[in-house]
Amino acid sequence: MPLGEISGTKTYAPSLGELVLYSYGLCGVRRTAILQEHMADAHVAANLLLADWSLKGINLWQVDKIVIPLVRGQATYDLEPSVVVMLDTYINLQQGSALTDSIILPVGRTEYASYPNKETIGRPTIFWMNRQLKPTVTLWPVPDGQHISMTAFVLRQSDDANFDNASIPSIPQVWLYAFATGLAAKLALSWAPERLQFLLPAEAAAYLAASSHNVETANTYISPMIGGYYRT
């Protein structure tokens, strides 16, 4: 490649093993000093880091869309264990060849428990996600058979971080540095506690920089309701 010419590629995707070696370098652990127990700890730490990120907010690359067929008289439906939380959700009504969507809103356990008649049949307007190890979603009113399905955007847990076959972490390229510094901070707890004073601020700064771009680029409009001023 001639001097000064850019690569023209956008395929850099380091494996988990490469990132682990870099993170240990941030901890001051030389590559020649890394043993099997170092790698075992790194495997656990990498997966714990991805789990921690799911607790800190909605990572857009983990958002998926699911469709659940609705059955008349059935209020509760099983969700896959990988579903962390349900986001925007709507029900789908088939009218001839057209499909009409109606948004439904989430409620908590306490509000759902307060409904006096949970067997009411009608068009669902709310949902309650029961976030157990085997999560479920319950609709109210109970589907009346007019709506054929429910569509939901859900936050899923990250794919496992493994060393097999030079696997790469399931994160976007712009999150690589945040992943490396976060992994280094977790490994330093066991292997280089004296480095934590430097790694923890680096981890926080890298996460903040990455998460600031982890938002949808959509406008928000707030308008006052002024209809009451024109009533006679």
* The pLDDT of residue 166: 82
Q: Residue 133 in 3-state DSSP?
A: coil
CA–CA separation, 92 and 69 (whole Å): 9
Instruction: Of 204, 185, 205, give the one whose Cα is nearest residue 195.
Output: 185
CA–CA separation, 84 and 91 (whole Å): 20
CA angle 21, 25, 29 (to 5 degrees): 100
CA–CA separation, 201 and 187 (whole Å): 15
Contact residues for 227 (Cβ-Cβ < 8 A; gap 6+): none
* The pLDDT of residue 15: 94
The whole-chain average pLDDT of the chain stands at 91
Per residue in 40-85, pLDDT tens?
999 999 999 999 998 888 888 899 999 999 999 999 999 999 999 9
No. of H helices and E strands in the chain? 5, 9
* The pLDDT of residue 189: 96
> By 3-state DSSP, what share of the chain in percent is helix, strand and coil, each rounded to 5?
40, 25, 40
Helix axes 196-211, 176-191, angle to 10 degrees: 160
* The pLDDT of residue 221: 65
Q: Which two tokens stand for residue 21?
A: 């070696």
pTM (whole model) above 0.75: yes
Q: Which two tokens stand for residue 170?
A: 């399931």
Q: What is the pLDDT along the chain (232 residues), one digit of tens a residue?
A: 566 788 889 889 999 999 999 999 999 999 999 999 999 999 999 999 999 998 888 888 899 999 999 999 999 999 999 999 999 999 998 777 788 899 999 999 999 999 999 999 999 999 999 999 999 999 999 999 988 999 999 999 989 999 988 888 989 999 999 999 999 999 999 999 999 999 999 999 999 999 988 887 766 667 666 555 555 4
Which whole-number Å values give the CA distances from 168 to 12, 51, 160, 171, 208, in the listed order?
A: 11, 16, 10, 8, 22
Q: Which two tokens stand for residue 166?
A: 């030079």
* The pLDDT of residue 231: 53
Residues making up the chain, counted from first to last? 232
The count of other CB atoms within 10 Å of the CB of residue 177 is 18
Which whole-number Å values give the CA distances from 7 to 4, 173, 176, 209, in the listed order?
A: 9, 17, 20, 25
* The pLDDT of residue 226: 58
Do residues 23 and 180 lie in contact, with contact meaning Cβ atoms separated by under 8 Å? yes
Q: Which two tokens stand for residue 4?
A: 């000064």
Do residues 156 and 64 lie in contact, with contact meaning Cβ atoms separated by under 8 Å? yes
